[in-house]
Amino acid sequence: MGIKVELGKKIKRMRLNRGLTQEQLAEMIDVSQRTLSGIEIGENFVTAETLDKLIKALNTTTEELFATSHLKPANDLVEEIIDNIQYIAKNPTKLNILYNVTKSLTKE
């Protein structure tokens, strides 16, 4: 997957996590909703000016926006998940939350 698609997905994820519609974010960064849609699907790439506005509107940093630490090999991810589970297992409340999250991810 190319950088335009990856960045677009990240922008969309951040927008949704902040409870913003495309229309709201587009207005905040002074672009059309169609332009933002193109950015989010990887059809368009952001200009430096729009990127600066996105960072401010999404209350994020350049580092967070371009972070690719989630793009690790599957074996590395599994090892980290197991380490996290072992840590979380010490806290019954967090373990219950993790159980519910994993249960919801396995439903189709």
Q: Which residue has the tokens 């979380």?
A: 88
Query: 79 and 60 share a domain?
Result: no
- Give 69's pLDDT tier (boundaries 50, 70, 90): low
Token pair for residue 31? 């672009």
- Would the pLDDT of 74 be above 80? no
Query: 54 and 86 share a domain?
Result: no
- Residues listed for the chain: 108
Nearest residue to 101 (alpha-carbon basis) of 79, 85, 77:
85
Total domains present in the chain: 2
- Would the pLDDT of 45 be above 80? yes
Query: 11 and 59 share a domain?
Result: yes
Reported as a single tens digit per residue, the pLDDT across 11-23 is 999 999 999 999 9
Q: Taken in order 58, 42, 3, 82, is the CA torsion positive or negative?
A: positive
- Give 70's pLDDT tier (boundaries 50, 70, 90): low
CA 32/CA 9 separation, integer angstroms? 18
Where in the sequence is the domain holding 82, given as residue range(s)?
A: 74-106
Query: 14 and 52 share a domain?
Result: yes
Q: Taken in order 54, 105, 71, 91, is the CA torsion positive or negative?
A: positive
Q: What is the CATH number of the domain that holds 30?
A: 1.10.260.40
| pLDDT > 70 fraction of the chain, expressed in percent and rounded | 94
* Alpha carbon separation from 8 to 31, 32, 69, 87 (Å, rounded): 15, 15, 16, 33
Token pair for residue 7? 């960045």
